[in-house]
Amino acid sequence: MQIAVAGGLIAASQANPPLGRLVGPPLTYYRVGVVLIILALVLAISVAVPSLRGRAARREAAGNTIYFGHLRRWRREDLAVHLTRQTSDEELQELCRQVVITARICW
């Protein structure tokens, strides 16, 4: 959302549109607003990135097939073989493990 707003503001502030002709205090307010939008974007990213569990996901990827952070490390062929060899009990255990991990992240 912040990227779209920032892009719209940048496009609207080109030479001819109304924001391109701002001077004085309105220009200052506009610039402060743009800086605050960029700051909000940086803060939103800084909150989301730790939830992706970069290094932990890399270590856990070998046996996990639900979380996209694990799945991106699999080759398509290897994943297909792994999924066909799993028993119902193994599938249930993996699902339960991932639900608990996701709940902890969300909490």
Residue in 65, 60, 57, 54 with CA at minimum distance from that of residue 94 = 65
Please classify residue 70 by burial: count the beta carbons closer than 10 Å to its beta carbon, then call 0-12 exposed, 13-18 middle and 19+ buried: buried
Cβ neighbours of 43 (radius 10 Å)? 11
Please determine, for residue 63, whether its predicted confidence score (pLDDT) is greater than 70. no
The Cα–Cα gap between 74 and 66 comes to: 11
Mean of pLDDT values over 61-82: 75
Q: What is the model's pLDDT at position 51?
A: 62
Q: What is the model's pLDDT at position 85?
A: 87
| CB-based contact 59:67 (threshold 8 Å) | no
Residues with Cβ within 8 Å of residue 3, at least 6 apart in sequence: 41
- Which band of pLDDT confidence, cut at 50, 70 and 90, is reported for residue 4? confident
pLDDT digit string, tens, across residues 6-34: 777 777 776 666 776 778 888 888 889 88
